[in-house]
A and B are shown apart, each in its own frame.
Chain A
């Protein structure tokens, strides 16, 4: 067997002795990549929005926003208030997690007033008559370097100084 090319060993490179495990490594890593893609399809990495609703005798609040995001993504949050009774001074109070390392592109309709409520962002929306809805849209963009694991994004609906209800939620931002 003097004509075997240099550095080739028949047992290894022709008969594949000792190389069978590499094939299984390859298959294993490909399977992991496949699982990763399936998780992506299952919305584990965002950004499909989901709805969360909270109800109280005075009003309902339905939040429609993604709970999983990735750096750089544009997304929208929709806050739908339905007043069972008149809300004289409807106010949404957002956790800092809503604006931490996020760019707010626009808020529609613009709140009447904005303030800090003990570190949270308070958006005063104004009067909502009984039996009517108020829908607020906020357009965000995640800062590319923003990474978060279950960062609280609670939303509180107040009528003036009276707390009506709270939606508890969190956001996870993947790099």
Chain B
């Protein structure tokens, strides 16, 4: 029973953590982030399975994570009002070629990062963008002005 409860606790903590640290950290995966992700996974594993090396234990942990993930996505689908809590909401960061400083500050995004993301999507100038949206996944969508 313990292993299921521990998995539940870790899942809930990670869900809250990913919601509060903000999308800035989630959207990019630089080398340091990748290393951190591996270390994080290892640290979590110790707390969940501890000294349990059994196949049954592994099935219980993976099964619990799967069920909870499905449950959260079902809640988000079935009750749209919970979506903003569980997944967050998109934030408009560029409006008609102008960066919205207040929203950038809220998400701890710099002009340089926006410009870099824009270049990644073959956009040379922010002024070419009609809408820039920071999605719930942490990615930035750019919608160009129609010519």
Residues of A whose CB lies within 8 Å of any CB of B are: 3-5, 8, 10, 12-14, 16, 19, 22-23, 25-26, 29-30, 33, 71-72, 144-145, 175
Contact = CB atoms under 8 A, between A and B. Distances in A.
Contacts of A23: 106
B90 A16 contact: no
B2 A145 contact: yes
Contact of B20 (A16, A19, A30): A30
15 contacts: A3-B146, A4-B131, A5-B133, A8-B131, A12-B89, A14-B91, A14-B92, A14-B95, A16-B106, A22-B84, A26-B19, A26-B20, A30-B20, A71-B50, A144-B50
Interface of B: 2, 6, 16-17, 19-22, 50-52, 84, 89-92, 95, 100, 102-103, 106, 130-131, 133, 141, 143, 146
The 7 closest A-B pairs by CB, nearest first: A144-B50, A14-B92, A26-B20, A29-B20, A13-B92, A145-B2, A72-B50
Nearest to B143: A5
A23 to B, nearest CB: 6
B51 A19 contact: no
Contacts, number: 50
Contact of A72 (B51, B91, B133): B51
Nearest to B141: A5
A12 B51 CA distance: 48
B95 A26 contact: no
B92 A144 contact: no
A71 B5 CA distance: 14
B102 A16 contact: yes
Contacts of B91: 13-14, 16
Contacts of B51: 72, 144
Contacts of A22: 84
Nearest to A23: B106
A144 B52 CA distance: 9
B19 A13 contact: no
A40 to B, nearest CB: 13
Contacts of A71: 50
Nearest to B90: A13
A8 B106 CA distance: 18
A14 B23 CA distance: 16
A22 B82 CA distance: 13
A22 B95 CA distance: 22
A16 B90 CA distance: 10
B107 to A, nearest CB: 10
A12 B91 CA distance: 8
A22 B20 CA distance: 9
B69 to A, nearest CB: 21
Contact of A175 (B6, B17, B130, B143): B6
A33 B146 CA distance: 45
A22 B141 CA distance: 22
Given A14-B95, A19-B89, A33-B17, 10 more contacts: A3-B131, A5-B131, A5-B143, A8-B131, A10-B92, A26-B20, A30-B20, A33-B20, A72-B50, A144-B51
